[in-house]
A and B are shown apart, each in its own frame.
Chain A
């Protein structure tokens, strides 16, 4: 048996944002993502979670370290089109406003995702044809593979229904939807591209309580069923706990704790993780303000790995 290959492998990544002084946003982060697993990335506001997400998608350059997607280095290309290989990594952003183009009908934006999947599928078939001459077996996973499954929605209208909206909404513009509705559309657009990796940067934070768990569950079941790795960034720890196999806890640009979700949850080892778990407000109607961390002095403690 060979070791399973990570879909994404991150090694000692640092990110600085230019400025006076520069912001050292990510300070040596390493982790792997494997096929079909759900990994929750949680942590302080401003600790570098979104920056990590942008590094993985090649939207932000790293100052040091290595990021590999299916064995090949991910390079930041700056603004503009991402190479088609990297569209196997899809993202849903924190602000529903920034995932969608305000000037285009939502149906045509979901169509973009469907086209990407179809395009990668054609590329993969072409690659396979080339490989017919090759004596070696074709690789199981290739960067251009799309993951079309028989029961996947095939049209923007079907995708809209899948995320709880109306087929007829395809003709409307993003601004005529509520915040939560826009976030569902952004999710549909990303999933329509049939990615190997889906990164949700606070994908459910604009949804109402009754659909949050449901959408998180939908994203995770889709991921598990089609082998997509899901990196789920959220500050909603009670939802992350429900869907994530593993947790990465970040503070100040570093991963301070990692391990299987239940172990981290029931036995947090790092002082930051402890205060994070203690600050979750309980929906019990008691009117108790959640606990604030008393001091950050001991958050510099070494990382805890379960």
Chain B
């Protein structure tokens, strides 16, 4: 099996006044061609930072060790224009918060066409055709008229679809999708998941899919990794992780899940699960870490 993207023993700390704050601790992950590698886990565990580090957008004052292999190159060794050439063209990324991916003062069209022209060196007209196509692919209709509109004129869900369109406009080999459907209603989400899955199956796109929604994970991922405190605590085939999780935290995640087998079903279940009324928000106690 050939991994398109291989993250190897990635550690990252951020320098602060009080010393180095550890964020990632020996993360290893592979994404194969035509495969969706899911990444779920606790809020603040380092999922987004992992994705950002792959495209060279880690926080300032980061200290990084390990390797990120793409096409035989270690991305951590690339700088400047070599890194820019990879970012966006070979790896596309969609963020959790669409306002991060979209510039508020630029029209949707100029953001799409600038991106396409920067990486693909095509004519203005061709870039515009590609832009309309890219929007069409994610279900944003309206053709060229849409290109003249600004991000704020779209709903949150529509903005996220536009962000996906930009990430996929240059046909990258790898897509890092950080909560790409978090802002979408479930019917539109179904469309986006089906779209991503079809790109994976037909074009061999490799996807690192970050989501906290285990329903979504169950629908699209081939493999599921679970992250906690900067470490991957479990990584396995989808069915195995869902039906026979090996780590206590994974079991905890599944138990607190509305709609899962044996998960939360009613307000009475909530009261049983959180006898303190949900006031205590820290991680449940009694977990072996």
| Residues of A participating in the B interface, judged by any CB pair closer than 8 Å | 17, 19, 23, 42-47, 50, 94-98, 162-164, 177-181, 184, 202, 205-218, 221, 225, 235-239, 241-243, 275-276, 279-293
Contact = CB atoms under 8 A, between A and B. Distances in A.
A242 B270 contact: yes
B186 A284 contact: no
Contact of A275 (B155, B187, B220, B241): B187
Given A214-B256, A215-B278, A221-B278, A285 B40 contact: no
Contacts of A96: 97
Contacts of B283: 210
Contacts of A208: 40-43, 45, 212, 253
Contact of A289 (B190, B212, B214): B190
5 contacts: A177-B44, A184-B281, A208-B45, A285-B238, A286-B239
B34 interface: no
A237 B183 contact: no
Nearest to B270: A217
Interface in B200-220: 212-220
Contacts of A23: 153
Nearest to B277: A221
B125 interface: no
B46 to A, nearest CB: 8
A210 B253 contact: yes
B189 interface: yes
Given A50-B155, A181-B43, A280-B259, A211 B281 contact: yes
Contacts of A214: 256, 274, 278, 281
Given A46-B155, A211-B43, A217 B190 contact: no
In the complex, which range does the number of interface residues on chain B fall in?
35 or more
Contact of B214 (A98, A202, A218, A283): A283
Contact of B212 (A19, A212, A280, A282): A212
B182 A205 contact: yes
Best-buried of A216, A225, A235 by chain B (most CB within 10 Å)? A235
A209 B44 contact: no
A42 B270 CA distance: 21
A23 to B, nearest CB: 7
Contact of B238 (A46, A287, A291, A292): A287
Interface stretch (B126-134, B168-176, B191-199): B191-199
Contact of B99 (A97, A181, A207, A289): A97
Q: Considering the complex of A and B, which 9 residue pairs feature the smallest CB-CB distances, nearest first?
A: A285-B242, A45-B157, A164-B281, A180-B43, A218-B278, A281-B215, A46-B155, A238-B258, A217-B278
Contact of B96 (A162, A179, A291): A179
Interface string B221-236: 1100000000000000
Given A213-B270, A243-B270, A283 B241 contact: no
A281 B193 contact: yes
Interface stretch (B25-33, B63-71, B80-88, B261-269): B261-269
A280 B215 contact: yes
A46 B256 contact: no
A97 B190 contact: no
B101 to A, nearest CB: 11
Nearest to B227: A208
B187 A292 contact: yes
B97 A213 contact: no
B197 A242 contact: no
A276 B191 CA distance: 12
B99 A95 contact: yes
A282 B218 contact: yes
Contacts of A243: 267, 270
B149 to A, nearest CB: 8
A100 B194 CA distance: 34
A241 B258 contact: yes
B257 A178 contact: no
Contacts of B239: 285-287
Contact of B219 (A98, A210, A287): A287
Given A214-B281, A281-B193, 7 more contacts: A178-B43, A210-B283, A238-B215, A279-B187, A285-B241, A286-B239, A287-B218
A283 B242 CA distance: 8
Given A179-B97, A184-B281, A218-B281, A289 B155 contact: no
A45 B212 contact: no
Contacts of A178: 43-44, 48
B185 A235 contact: yes
Contacts of A45: 155-158, 183-185, 188
B289 interface: no
A290 B264 contact: no
B243 interface: yes
A216 B156 CA distance: 20
A283 B215 contact: yes
A95 B193 CA distance: 21
A217 B96 CA distance: 23
B146 to A, nearest CB: 12
Contacts of A293: 187
A47 to B, nearest CB: 8
A200 to B, nearest CB: 14
Nearest to A42: B185
B94 to A, nearest CB: 13
A283 B155 contact: no
